[in-house]
Amino acid sequence: MGVYTLLLLALLTCAILPQSTPDPDDEACLTRLRGSLSPFLSNCTNLQSLDLSSNSLAGPIPPAAAALLPNLAALNLSSNRLSGPIPPQLSLCAYLNVIDLHNNLLSGEIPQQLGLLARLSAFDVSNNRLSGPIPGLLGNRTRFNASSYEGNKGLYGYPLPPMKNKGVTILGIVGIGLGSGLLSLVLSFGLCVFG
């Protein structure tokens, strides 16, 4: 009889309590954040989605936190002031299908390892300070077009349009080499003949 009484009490309690409704301010609690990303994010091992976009977060993305979030499927850190390199350890998050890091101050090259994320369906690193080649395994995915990479002055490779020649070209280097070789030859000949 005691079990039935507990079951009845549980049913009545559920019937009397109002159903919870989503609080429209729930998302607001993750805005207006300042400071840096905590390396203690790595303690959230069951975290599947992390959206800290449009805040005032600064500093690097902690590599240790990226490496220890095995269930992370979506990462959105866009529109902050994050700086430093993109941690290659993000490639250890095998379930990642969204990486959105646009509008930050990230620098360095895009890690080649990110191209190994087989589930990656959305990738945006536009408007940062990235440089170097776009990894082939990322650039060749048809779902990532030039808009995923634009706004990074030093970034090059497919799908971005070819860089306009800036500075010395290969032909110019060959010309300089031939010219200096010819000058050296003339000077050597002059020293032998007149010296």
Together in a domain, 34 and 97:
yes
Give the strand order in the sheet containing 122-124: 49-51, 74-76, 98-100, 122-124
Distance of alpha carbon 108 from alpha carbon 192, whole angstroms? 51
Together in a domain, 125 and 182:
no
Instruction: Tell me: pLDDT of 138 over 80.
Output: yes
On whether residue 176 sits in a domain, the answer given is yes
Together in a domain, 88 and 135:
yes
On whether residue 53 sits in a domain, the answer given is yes
On whether residue 153 sits in a domain, the answer given is yes
Query: Minimal CA–CA distance to 67: which of 48, 45, 44, 89?
Result: 89
Together in a domain, 68 and 140:
yes
Together in a domain, 105 and 184:
no
Residue-wise pLDDT tens digits, 83-121: 999 999 999 999 999 999 999 999 999 999 999 999 999
Together in a domain, 110 and 129:
yes
Which pLDDT belongs to residue 159?
93
Query: Minimal CA–CA distance to 36: which of 8, 62, 2, 10?
Result: 62
> Residue 132: which pLDDT band, with cuts at 50, 70 and 90?
very high
Residue-wise pLDDT tens digits, 46-87: 999 999 999 999 999 998 877 788 899 999 999 999 999 999
Together in a domain, 143 and 175:
no
On whether residue 17 sits in a domain, the answer given is no
Together in a domain, 116 and 195:
no
Q: Which two tokens stand for residue 36?
A: 């840096």
CATH number at residue 157: 3.80.10.10
Residue type, 70: P
Residue-wise pLDDT tens digits, 117-128: 999 999 999 999
Together in a domain, 151 and 178:
no
Together in a domain, 107 and 143:
yes
Together in a domain, 55 and 133:
yes
On whether residue 10 sits in a domain, the answer given is no
Residue span of the structural domain in which 193 resides? 167-195
Cβ partners under 8 Å of residue 35, min gap 6: 57, 58, 59
On whether residue 9 sits in a domain, the answer given is no
Together in a domain, 149 and 171:
no
Three-class secondary structure of residue 161 per DSSP: coil
What is the tally of structural domains in the chain? 2
Which pLDDT belongs to residue 163?
75
